[in-house]
Amino acid sequence: MVLVRMSLWRFKEGKREKAFLGLDHILNTTARNSDGFRGYVSLLSYEDPNAATILTLWQDEESLRTSEKTVYAQAVNKVRDSLEKIPCLENYSMFSSVFPIKGEIKNIGIKPKFVFLKK
């Protein structure tokens, strides 16, 4: 089972883009080199130019907890001056599914393809 940390980031007016580049750098270096790291998804709010949501994916509870003290703490420190407030965190177990685009897969029909991420 893959675990997910969702962090909701609120930036000071006009600071999101620059701060996000710093966060993305940490995700592509520190997180990527951390034991148990499986990937990430960054969501920049389309409606709120000062908000972002980052989902980090972790192999197990140990790597999730360890990363909070390392990767997450380093990310907050890097962009602290751009933050309106400390990010809110919530942890999840992950289930995902992928649906093929019409015409992408032939001779199978329109059944969804389910993807289960395992250790």
> pLDDT, tens digit, for every residue of 20-73?
999 999 999 999 999 999 999 999 999 999 999 999 999 999 999 999 999 999
What's the CATH fold of domain 3-93?
A: Alpha-Beta Plaits (3.30.70)
Rounded Cα–Cα distance for residues 9 and 19 (Å)? 10
Q: Among candidates 33, 112, 41, 117, which has minimal Cα distance to 71?
A: 33
User: What tens digit of pLDDT does each residue of 70-94 get?
Assistant: 999 999 999 999 999 999 999 999 8
Q: Give the model's pLDDT for residue 111.
A: 52
SS3 84: strand
Half-sphere exposure of 111 (CA within 13 A, CB side): 6
- Decide: 4 and 90 in contact? Cβ < 8 Å: no
Domain residue ranges of the chain, discontinuous segments joined by +: 3-93
Q: Give the model's pLDDT for residue 119.
A: 43
Q: What is the pTM of this model?
A: 0.79
Q: Among candidates 14, 12, 37, 17, which has minimal Cα distance to 27?
A: 37
